[in-house]
Amino acid sequence: MNIGIIGAGLSGIVAARDLTRHGHTVELIEKSRSVGGRLATRRIGEGKADHGAVYFTVRGEELKQDVADWQMKGWVNVWYADPYPRYVAAGGMNALAKRLAEGLTVHLNERAETVTTRAGQVHVRTDVTARQYDRLIITSPLPQTLDLLADFPIDTTLHGLTYAPTFVGLFEFGNEVTIGPDGILETGLASGLLKVINNRQKGVSATELVSVYMDESWSEEWYDRPEDETLQEIERLLQTVTASVIQSSQLKRWRYAQATDVWNEPYYRLRDEPIFLAGDVFLEPDDASGRTRFESAYVSGLRVAEAMR
């Protein structure tokens, strides 16, 4: 089959790898300039800072086997293990996404604008060209997916799932900064702060780059405020953790950082249509964590590929 996948985040990449391995022709359409989605890393000077997924954990056997392979290849390593391993990617989380996407057909900087079906085929019009597939998988955040599929009947429960935003401040220091024993603080922080991470201690950066993640309520409150004002406030809160002098700062705004609700199936197929939805919001019914994360995106990609095969 000729299969299209909208969204080259982890779910899309995992599905594409599986389907390609089974002999299908697959191409990914990605609106950004890089694969990975929230497996995001930014280069600042001589250093790197993760500003999407901080780390990932492993519960299921399938991911455990892949992670063992990735460790042997030097793609990932254990950051710290208290009480269970937190895995990070060598060179930043986006480096793992790029390695997993090697050999796949990916159309970057291309935004899907319309999806229609006719005579059993799916037609995708992008801002670059028109594409046609036997089957289509969409892995973008649900609000974007539902806008794209506005003319299709979709379960009303999916329309009710909401997402919380997150701001991430990226701060460069000229001198050594220590953030906790392992490079991460998640407790005892000032109101509004969710996590503070030193990317050097994490093993990602050669320089002192600190990622500051803001919590859901703070990010909602500040979402529409001016960027410079928002960054100044994050910097003020960071100074409750370290008084070291900041050399430069940047801001990342994630509109759909974390789903506040989940769909208790690993994918969704549109009734009577060759269109499937997947992503981290689609969890297996027995998922013990009940929340979106790296592994839920990974499993969703596997399951939708299996269903399509």
Q: What is the 3-state secondary structure (H, E, C) of the chain?
A: CEEEEECCEHHHHHHHHHHHHCCCEEEEECCCCCCECCCCEEEECCEEEECCCCCECCCCHHHHHHHHHHHHHCCEEEEEECCCEEEEECCCHHHHHHHHHCCCEEECCCCEEEEEEECCEEEEEECCCEEEECEEEECCCHHHHHHHCCCCCCCHHHHCCCEEEEEEEEEEECCCCCCCCCCEECCCCCCCEEEEEECCCCCCCCCEEEEEEECHHHHHHHCCCCHHHHHHHHHHHHCCCCCCCEEEEEEEEEEEEEECCCECCCCEECCCCCEEECCCCECCCCCCCCCCCHHHHHHHHHHHHHHHC
Query: Which pLDDT band holds residue 288 (cuts at 50, 70, 90)?
Result: confident
Res 214 pLDDT > 90? yes
Which residues, 6 or more positions from 41, have their beta carbon under 8 angstroms from its beta carbon?
A: 48, 49, 50, 51, 52, 91, 92, 93, 94, 95, 204
Q: Nearest-CA neighbor of 6 among 112, 133, 116?
A: 112
Half-sphere exposure of 113 (CA within 13 A, CB side): 9
- Average of per-residue pLDDT across 266-289: 95
Average pLDDT on 261-279 reads 96
**From CA 198, how far away is CA 172, in angstroms rounded?**
10
Q: pLDDT by residue (tens digit) across 108-153?
A: 999 999 999 999 999 999 999 999 999 999 999 999 999 999 999 9
Which residue is it, tokens 């389907």? Answer: 19
What are the structural domains of the chain?
A: 2-33+108-161+262-308 (3.50.50.60), 163-259 (3.90.660.10)
Query: What is the average per-residue pLDDT within 213-220?
Result: 97
Query: How high is the pLDDT of residue 262?
Result: 93
pLDDT of residue 9: 98
For residues 61-81, average pLDDT = 97
Rounded Cα distance between 258 and 270, Å, is 23
Residue type, 4: G
Q: Which of 100, 8, 7, 12 is nearest to 308 (CA)?
A: 12
Contact of 54 with 168, CB cutoff 8 Å: no
